[in-house]
Structure 1
Amino acid sequence: MTSRRAFLKAGGLALVGIGLGGVPGFMARAADSQKRTGLYKRNKILVCIFQRGAMDGLMAVCPFNDPYLRAARPDLFMSPARNGTGKALMDLDGSFGLHPAMQAFEPLFREKRLAIVHGMGSPNNTRSHFDAQDYMESGTPFSKATTSGWLNRAVGLLGHDASPFQAVSLTPAMPRSLYGDQPALAIHDLKDFALQSKGTPVDLSTTAQSFESLYDQTSSVLLKQTGKESFEAMKMLQQVQTGRYTPAAGVVYPATALGTSLRQIAQLIKMDVGLEVAFAESGGWDTHFNQGTGNGAFARNAQDFSNSIAAFWADLAARQDDVTVLTMTEFGRTVKQNGTRGTDHGRASCSFIIGNDVKGGLVHGAMQPLAVENLEDGRDLAVTTDFRSIFSEVAGVHLDIQNKDVLFPEWNGKKIGVMHRA
């Protein structure tokens, strides 16, 4: 196994090679000279997707029988009735309807591979995007002093030595979730990526410097400290850039940031490079104006989001048992539409969880009628499920992490039953 120590010694050198277009010949020859010990064993993999901007959970998964919601959203309310005047919700269970732009999710729900948790959110009532995201990713909703992210702590609780690719974020910068003592990679693109260790970015794709100058600065120290494990890591990196990745037959990813990120996560999974925690982002959910119904800003985002995840899931094929997908968003939107046919910052939203060990085909959580007296601050869907209840259960079951006191300090909540074997 490649140790974290070996990675921290050799990783910078290997990543310089990738960032500038290839592993240098002398290092490639050195790597090839080592006897390969085989791929990393197959692991369980948790893929987290953050919907930044605060997704309107009431539009994504609508309680369409609620008369208060209909009255509060005269321009935004949708129903499953097909009356020829617009796109209809997909009736999930007689009470909740899935937005039509998320039709790629419907087969997963019917196959009981998709579970939805409604009324999820943070116990901290901030409506600041920055603060709410920070609290959710740190996993400590009432402390700004936490230096680590909950996913970084999860990696530390896995209890075994790891590949350099144990924790990877397919994002331009390291997400708050992966800040901490455990090594992690932030990769914007597998062809040209930067390493960030312990939350501190190190740009290794600088093209202003030549190969020679970069290696003059780094190789003399690194080469003295690298062993065969370091060369093994380099061989994995060479594989990443070898040819173009071909998804499973019939799978087409959206040509979007999220589609590209998930395609590359699938590539890493199939390469058996030791991936165990992956992270991606979906932006643009801050729908203050012209939110739309069957068409518009929300529908475009929802279509990309669901199509990208559905393509990823289909692409995994025989690896589906190894993977669980968990989505999150910092908060929801107001129950009542605003004057510009949008919705403002609210409280609760919903989470989508996909996998073969989820209790799918159900909308979990509790939601009271959306009458004013039941709303938080008289305006928002109340948070009835703490996000930590979901995250701890999914990570606990799928990654076999049992120490919730370390994963989510100062929290002693209960699981919600969204996973089998919970």
Structure 2
Amino acid sequence: MDRRIFLKNGAMALVTLGLSPSFLRRTALAMELPRAARGKTLIVLFQRGAADALNVLVPFGDRDYYAARPQLAIGAPARANGAGGAIDLDGFFGLHPSLASFKPLWDRGMLAPIHAVGSPSATRSHFDAQDYMETGTPDQKGTTDGWLNRYLAVQGTCEACAVSDSGKTVPFRAVSMTTQTPRILEGPSPVVAMNSISEFSIRSTGGDAERRLEALYRTGSADLIHGSGSDMFEALKVLRSANPQQYTAAANVQYPRSQFGQRLLQIAQLIKSNVGLEVAFADVGGWDTHVNQGAAQGQLANRLSDFSESISALVTDLGDRMEDVVILTCSEFGRTVRQNGTGGTDHGHAGAMFVIGGSLGASQKVFGTWPGLAREQLYEGRDLALTTDFRAVFSEVTSRHLGADQLARLFPGYAGNRKNWLGVLKG
């Protein structure tokens, strides 16, 4: 179809980078937003920039923690006023005070913190470490697809697209709330990537539409507009039916107005709309705290407030649907045990994760093996040592929650097995 004719007659553009022409055709054939049977959903949230695990999941019971961080350490849970102190979990570990909205989840047995977890790779490069975690193949730069896309391909049917009760294909099996398809979802299986649901269909005219389509050309997605024009417009009709203005969160639920908070709101919308969402992804930056990190207050504290309040709103909004939902948080690596000379921390090694859901295997337990923070216990004499490979967590969650049964294909080269699982989810 001639591009200028499309621009002249179309007056709107599809702005999403995770769609293939075949996906658009399948979506158009549905002619209406199909409703899938209620199933399991995995939500992966990536903290880009290397979150400081030691001030997120605070080891206040380890005296070496305070020796290494005279200004940055979070105080032990206060016995009196509680100001600035960690939120006690088990007498040894606590949450940063800005994670207060996580405490009710802990009390309900819906929060599983994991310490000393991450990639066995020694890299301190953000780019490489994120790539290894998203592909599931540490130190293997040749991997072309992400581990979540491999899950979709290995476990999928009907050309890796879910099917509704009516037999129609479900276009929203995997959704990434990002500008472009993230590395973790790259691969042959169809994936939707978008800034927001409303950007599926943008009513625009003239130069604005042309600029948007030119952007598609620049990103190598020109094939999106070279298919059937009628298919494109029918697809737009389908996608517009999930307009976020039509959605109202559960009573008394207030999502933060941040980009991250609003993206989690839209994930909730897709789940509650029964569109067949099986895998959702969102990321949030700002965790690279080399300078002026702060302790109980400051840069990191502000980031943690938005992070936890957004997740807490999502959990509350979903209500009893959380029995079918697992939220997995991760970051590419942790940060140095010792604070640096500019009031921050530098690139480290092991980090922390949270698994959140209504079907956890054990309540009120901090998972993992604590390696200690004495100098002789540190990785390369400076970092929290790794005791849990991230693939042990990813494989357990994917298997026990989503039913993945070909884990060797999801994580090629990983020698770990079920004995390495932590028992975060019910077996």
TM exceeding 0.5? yes
Q: Which residue of 2 aligns with 1:419?
A: 424
Q: Which residue of 1 aligns with 2:380?
A: 377
Q: Which residue of 2 aligns with 1:25?
A: none
Q: Which residue of 2 aligns with 1:107?
A: 104
Q: Which residue of 1 aligns with 2:119?
A: 122
Q: Does the CA contact (< 8 Å) of 2:45 and 2:281 recur in 1? A: yes
Q: Indicate the larger mover: 314-323 or 396-405.
A: 314-323
Q: Does the CA contact (< 8 Å) of 1:188 and 1:194 recur in 2? A: no
Q: Which residue of 1 aligns with 2:172?
A: 165
Does the residue aligned with 2:175 lie in a helix, a strand or coil? Answer: strand
Q: Does residue 45 of structure 1 match 2:41? A: yes
Q: Does the CA contact (< 8 Å) of 1:45 and 1:399 recur in 2? A: yes
* Separation in 2, partners of 1:257, 1:357: 28
* Separation in 1, partners of 2:150, 2:210: 36
* Separation in 2, partners of 1:365, 1:259: 29
Deviation string 1:120-146 (CA, Å, 9 cap, x unpaired) is: 010101000011001100100021000
Q: CA deviation at 1:103?
A: 0.4
Q: CA deviation at 1:185?
A: 1.1
Task: Output the amino acid matched with 1:314.
Answer: T
Q: Does the CA contact (< 8 Å) of 2:118 and 2:333 recur in 1? A: yes
Task: Output the amino acid matched with 2:95.
Answer: L
Q: Which residue of 2 aligns with 1:323?
A: 325
Does the residue aligned with 1:373 lie in a helix, a strand or coil? Answer: helix
Q: Which residue of 2 aligns with 1:3?
A: none
* Separation in 1, partners of 2:62, 2:15: 53
Q: CA deviation at 1:362?
A: 1.1
Deviation string 1:85-106 (CA, Å, 9 cap, x unpaired) is: 9411110000101110000000
1:63 to 45, 51, 59: 59
Q: Which residue of 2 aligns with 1:310?
A: 312
The gaps in structure 2 that reach 5 residues or longer are 1-9, 17-26, 163-169, 217-222
Q: CA deviation at 1:184?
A: 0.6
Does the residue aligned with 2:297 lie in a helix, a strand or coil? Answer: coil
Q: What pairs up with 1:221-240 in 2 under 5 angstroms?
A: 221-222=227-228, 234-240=236-242
Task: Output the amino acid matched with 2:345.
Answer: T
Q: Which residue of 2 aligns with 1:176?
A: 183
Q: What pairs up with 1:255-294 in 2 under 5 angstroms?
A: 255-294=257-296
Q: CA deviation at 1:321?
A: 1.5
Cα distance change, pair 218–286 in 1 and its aligned pair in 2 (3 A)? closer
* Separation in 1, partners of 2:107, 2:309: 16
* Separation in 2, partners of 1:320, 1:59: 27
Q: CA deviation at 1:320?
A: 1.3
Cα distance change, pair 18–159 in 1 and its aligned pair in 2 (3 A)? closer
Task: Output the amino acid matched with 1:189.
Answer: S
Deviation string 1:142-194 (CA, Å, 9 cap, x unpaired) is: 21000000111111122333221111100112110011111111101111149
* Separation in 2, partners of 1:170, 1:345: 27
* Separation in 1, partners of 2:189, 2:11: 18
2:144 to 140, 144, 147: 147
Q: Indicate the larger mover: 34-43 or 259-268.
A: 34-43
1:391 to 371, 384, 394: 394
Q: Which residue of 2 aligns with 1:96?
A: 93
The gaps in structure 1 that reach 5 residues or longer are 1-13, 21-30, 196-204
Q: Which residue of 1 aligns with 2:366?
A: 363
Does the residue aligned with 2:98 lie in a helix, a strand or coil? Answer: helix
Cα distance change, pair 368–250 in 1 and its aligned pair in 2 (3 A)? same
Q: Does residue 401 of structure 1 match 2:404? A: yes
* Separation in 1, partners of 2:314, 2:372: 35
Q: Does the CA contact (< 8 Å) of 2:28 and 2:238 recur in 1? A: no
* Separation in 2, partners of 1:392, 1:103: 29
Q: CA deviation at 1:83?
A: 5.9
Q: Does residue 77 of structure 1 match 2:80? A: no
Q: Which residue of 1 aligns with 2:219?
A: none
Q: Does residue 251 of structure 1 match 2:247? A: no
Q: Does residue 133 of structure 1 match 2:130? A: yes
Does the residue aligned with 1:303 lie in a helix, a strand or coil? Answer: helix
* Separation in 1, partners of 2:29, 2:143: 44
Q: Which residue of 1 aligns with 2:351?
A: 349
* Separation in 2, partners of 1:420, 1:340: 40
Q: Does the CA contact (< 8 Å) of 1:148 and 1:177 recur in 2? A: yes
Does the residue aligned with 1:253 lie in a helix, a strand or coil? Answer: coil
- What is the TM-score with the length of structure 2 in the denominator? 0.83
Cα distance change, pair 387–38 in 1 and its aligned pair in 2 (3 A)? closer
Does the residue aligned with 2:155 lie in a helix, a strand or coil? Answer: coil
- What is the TM-score with the length of structure 1 in the denominator? 0.84
Q: Does the CA contact (< 8 Å) of 2:14 and 2:201 recur in 1? A: no
* Separation in 2, partners of 1:16, 1:100: 46
Aligned sequence identity (%): 46
* Separation in 1, partners of 2:195, 2:213: 24
Q: Which runs of 4 or more aligned residues in structure 1 lie more than 3 Å from their structure 2 counterparts after TM superposition?
A: 14-20, 31-38, 82-86, 210-214, 217-221, 233-236, 418-422
Please report the RMSD computed on the Cα atoms of aligned residues, expressed in angstroms. Answer: 3.2
Cα distance change, pair 124–86 in 1 and its aligned pair in 2 (3 A)? same
Does the residue aligned with 2:197 lie in a helix, a strand or coil? Answer: coil
Q: Which residue of 2 aligns with 1:185?
A: 192
